[in-house]
Structure 1
Amino acid sequence: MLLPCDQTDELESICDDIQVNLQGLSDPSKVVLDIIQNPIIQKCEMGDNVVIIDDSHILLLIVLMRISPDIKPHVREDAMKLALDLKANMKENNGNSLVVLGFLLLLSIYGLVPSFNEDDVLKLFGLVSQYDIGVELFGALGFADKISDFVQSLIKKQQYDEAVRFSCAYNFSNNTQLVDIFQEHVQNLNLIFESSCKEANSIEIKDKA
C-alpha cells in the first residue's frame, strides 16, 4: 500500500476516486468514522476494543480534509471518542506514526483541537514530520507561528530533512535564524566530538601507562 507521503500519479488517482465517492455521500464525515471504527478487533489479553489505523484510513482522512465537509454535532462527538481511543493507542504503541497521523487528521477535520493540550499536540508532529500531510497539518492546526521552535527541535533530533521541509513550507528558510540554528548545532556537535576524542585519548594513555 502506498504511504501518504508518496506523491505519485497512482496515489493521486486513488485519492481522486475516493473523493468522487465521498462527495456522493450525504454525510461523508460520518461514513469515514464508521469505516475506521469497524471492524474493531478484540484485544484478548486486555478484554477491550482497539481501533486499528492503516494506510487506507489515512487516505480516507486526507481526502475528507480536502472536501472539508460540514460536521454535525453528533458526528463530532463520535470523532472525539475515536480521537481519545487513538490517543490511548499511541501510548500503548510508542507513538506509532500512522496512529499519530490519524489522530492529528481527526483533530483538523472534526474541529477537535481545543479539546486537547496544545503543547502535547505540537510534540506529536515530531513523529509525523516525514509525511507531506504532516507539514500541511502543522499549519492547519494553527502552529505556523511556532515554526522556529519546532524546526530547532527537529535539528536537535538530527531530523535534518524534516527541518528543511518544514522551513521551506513556512517560509522560514529565508530567515537567518535558520542558519544560526544549524550553525549552533554543528558547533555543539564539534564540542561533543572534541570532548569524546580527548576522553578516549586520556583512557588510551592510562592504559599504556
Structure 2
Amino acid sequence: MRLQLDKCEKIDGVESLCSDVLVNLLESSDPAKLVLDIILNPTIPLCDWKGDNVVIINDSRINLLEQLMRISPNIKPCVREEALKLALDLKANMKENTENSLAILGFLLLLSIYGLVTSFIEDEILELFAFVAHHRIAVELFRTLGFANKVSDFVENLIKKKEFVGAVRFSCEYNLADKNQLVDLLQEHVRNAKQICETSCQNNNSNEIKDKARDREIASLKTVLRCISDHGLEPKVLFNKEIKYRILELKGYQGS
C-alpha cells in the first residue's frame, strides 16, 4: 500500500461533514475500527481520493484521530493489527519525505491510540517528534508515549535545530524556561522566517517561487500566533501587531 499526504483546502460543507463523522464516532460501538475504516476506505469527500491503493492523510484525518484519542476507546486485537499495518506503511512512506509533518503526526497518534509503541524502536520514535513539535497535540503525545523524562534534552535539541516554536510549546508545558526567554525564541523564529523568505525572493525571478516563499513565511508566522495564544504569552509579546502586519504585507505582494 502506498500512502500519500494531501493537505486539503476547506470547501463548503466540510465542517458539517466533520461534525457528522464525530457524532457517528461517539455513537459507534467500535470507534477505533470506524476511524481506521474512514482512513483506509474514505467515503466522506473531504479531499480527492486518488487511486485504489492510496490512503490520504490530511487535516481531517488528524482531527479524527485526535478526537479518538480523547475517547480512549477499547482496542480489539484485530483492530490493533490493522492499525499496525497502517502505521508500518506510514513509517515506510516517511523515510522518503520527513517534511510531511501531518503524516508523522498521524503515525504518532496511531502509536498512542492503538498501543503500538512497543512495535517500533524507541529512539526512532523520539527523533520524529522534532518534525511535529510545533503542533499542540505533539506535547500530549510526547507524554503519553513515555518520553516525558527526556524533555529537557529534547527541547535543547530543538533549539539547536532552530525549531523555536516547538521548543516554546514544550517549554511552556513542562515549565522549563522563563516566559521572557520563550518570547526571545519566538522573535528569533520570526526574524529567521523573514530572512529566509527575502533571500528566496531576491534570488529568484519567478513569481511562482516568490509566492511559495511568501506562503511559507505566512504559515510560519501563523504558527507563532497560535503558539502565543495557546500558551497565554500575549502579555509578554509586544510584536503581535508586527506579525499580523507582516502577514498582510506578504499577502499584498502575492503575484508580484
Mark yes or no: TM-score above 0.5: yes
What is the one-letter code of the residue matched to 1:91? Answer: K
Structure 1 residues 114 and 2: CA distance shift in structure 2, 3 A = farther
Q: Are 1:82 and 2:86 an aligned pair?
A: yes
Deviations 1:46-102 (A, max 9, x none): xxx342201110010000000010000000000000000100111122341010000
Find the residue that maps to 1:106 and give its secondary structure.
helix
Cα distance in 2 for residues equivalent to 1:144 and 1:92: 28
The 5 A counterparts of 1:150-189 are 150-173=154-177
Name 1:32's counterpart in structure 2: 35
Find the residue that maps to 2:95 and give its secondary structure.
helix
Cα distance in 2 for residues equivalent to 1:14 and 1:144: 36
Question: Who wins on radius of gyration, i.e. which is larger?
Answer: 1
Find the residue that maps to 1:92 and give its secondary structure.
coil
The question of whether the paired residues in 1 share the 8 Å contact of 2:98 and 2:104 is answered with no
What is the one-letter code of the residue matched to 1:93? Answer: N
Cα distance in 1 for residues equivalent to 2:153 and 2:9: 31
What is the one-letter code of the residue matched to 1:28? Answer: P
Cα distance in 2 for residues equivalent to 1:103 and 1:162: 18
Structure 2: where are the runs of 5+ without partners? 1-7, 43-48, 186-256
Find the residue that maps to 1:89 and give its secondary structure.
helix
The normalised TM-score by structure 1 is: 0.70
Structure 1: where are the runs of 5+ without partners? 4-10, 44-48, 183-209
The question of whether the paired residues in 2 share the 8 Å contact of 1:18 and 1:63 is answered with no
The question of whether the paired residues in 2 share the 8 Å contact of 1:147 and 1:172 is answered with no
The question of whether the paired residues in 2 share the 8 Å contact of 1:58 and 1:102 is answered with yes
Aligned length: 164
Find the residue that maps to 1:94 and give its secondary structure.
coil
Name 2:24's counterpart in structure 1: 21
The question of whether the paired residues in 2 share the 8 Å contact of 1:19 and 1:67 is answered with no
Cα distance in 1 for residues equivalent to 2:79 and 2:56: 19
The normalised TM-score by structure 2 is: 0.58
Q: Are 1:132 and 2:128 an aligned pair?
A: no
TM superposition shift of 1:18: 4.7
The question of whether the paired residues in 2 share the 8 Å contact of 1:53 and 1:102 is answered with yes
Name 1:196's counterpart in structure 2: none
Q: Which runs of 4+ in 1 moved over 3 A?
A: 13-20, 39-43
The question of whether the paired residues in 1 share the 8 Å contact of 2:152 and 2:176 is answered with yes
Identify which of structures 1 and 2 has the higher relative contact order when contacts are C-alpha pairs closer than 8 Å and 6+ apart. 1
